[in-house]
Amino acid sequence: MELIKIVVAIILPPLGVFLQVGIGKHFWINILLTILGYIPGIVHAVWVVAKNK
């Protein structure tokens, strides 16, 4: 299941964060990072998914 979450975090970073932690501060931070640049959103999403196993 974690592999699926990481793949989703790479394709759609906010969705990957949402699946891991729900709507909270990390979700909104990821939305902002994804708007500012797709790569920072991916990095943050993968970090959140990996950190919150």
pLDDT for the residue 44: 96
- Report the predicted TM-score, pTM, of the whole model to 2 decimal places: 0.90
Give the per-residue pLDDT at 25: 95
Tell me the residue type at 52: N
Summarize pLDDT for 2-53 with one digit per residue, the tens: 889 999 999 999 999 999 999 999 999 999 999 999 999 999 999 999 997 6
pLDDT of residue 11: 95
pLDDT, one tens digit per residue, over 29-43 is 999 999 999 999 999
> Domains in the chain: how many in total?
1
Q: What is the extent of the structural domain holding 17? A: 2-51
